[in-house]
Amino acid sequence: VSGAELDEAIKARGAMPLPPYISAKRAHDDQDDTDYQTVYAQHDGAVAAPTAGLHFTDELLAQIAAKGVEIDYVTLHVGAGTFLPVKADDTDDHKMHAEWGELSAQTVENIKKCRANGGRIFAVGTTSLRVLESAAFDGELKPFCGETDIFITPGYKFNAVDVLMTNFHLPKSTLFMLVSAFSGLENMRNAYKHAIENNYRFYSFGDASLLFQEQK
C-alpha cells in the first residue's frame, strides 16, 4: 500500500486520523479530537498530528514567548506514508510520497533576522524540520508553497534548523533516519538505549527529546 492510498483511505473514514499502532487496538472516540491535535492547528489536510507539538499548551507557549523566544508557524500536511516502514535494503530505493507544505515570506524574514542576530532555529517536530529544509534545499531559505518529497538520510547537509525537538520514532522508519542524519547515528543509538532502559514512552503520546545538530 502506498502512502497516497493510505491518505485517501483515512480521509474517506472521516474521523480524526489515528496512527495504526493506536487504531489497531481501539476505535476512535470523541476525546481523540482534542487529544490528538496541537493547540495551534489551523488548517485541515494532515492525516497525522505533528506529535512533538502535542506537548505544548497555550500556557506553555505563553511562558516561552515571555522569555523572549519568537514563535513562528509552518504548515505541512502530514501523510500516512510517515508510518510506512522502509523495506528497501538501499535507502535510494525507498520512495517518499509527497506532502504539501507552506512557509510564508514573513516567517522566512523572521528566521533570517534571528540568524543575523546570532540566534538559533529550533524546529518542533520532524514535520516542521522537513518543510523548513524543503524551503532551503538549494542552501538559501525562501518562501515555499507546494509538495515536497524530501527524504533526509545520514549525509544530508542541513540548511535551516539548528535544534530539533521530537518524540522517539519507530525503528526502520524514515523519521529515525532523519534524526540520525541530524544528530548522528551513534548519538541516536545511545539516546534510544537510554530511553528503553528508563521506560520512556515512544510514538505519538510519548516522551520528547531535544536534539542538537551533530558537528562535523
At residue 171 the predicted structure's pLDDT band, cuts being 50, 70 and 90, is: confident
- What are the domain boundaries of the chain? 3-212
Q: Is the pTM of this model over 0.85?
A: no
Which of these, 104, 43, 110, lies nearest to 78 by C-alpha position? 43
Q: Return the C-alpha cell found at 171.
A: 525503528
Instruction: Give the tens place of pLDDT for each residue, 34-46.
Output: 788 888 988 877 7
Instruction: Tell me the backbone φ, ψ of residue 124, rounded to 5 degrees.
Output: -90, 100
**CATH T-level topology, domain 3-212:** QueA-like (3.40.1780)
Instruction: Give the tens place of pLDDT for each residue, 69-92.
Output: 999 999 988 766 665 666 555 555
Gap between the Cα atoms of 192 and 198, Å rounded: 10
The per-residue pLDDT for 90 is 55
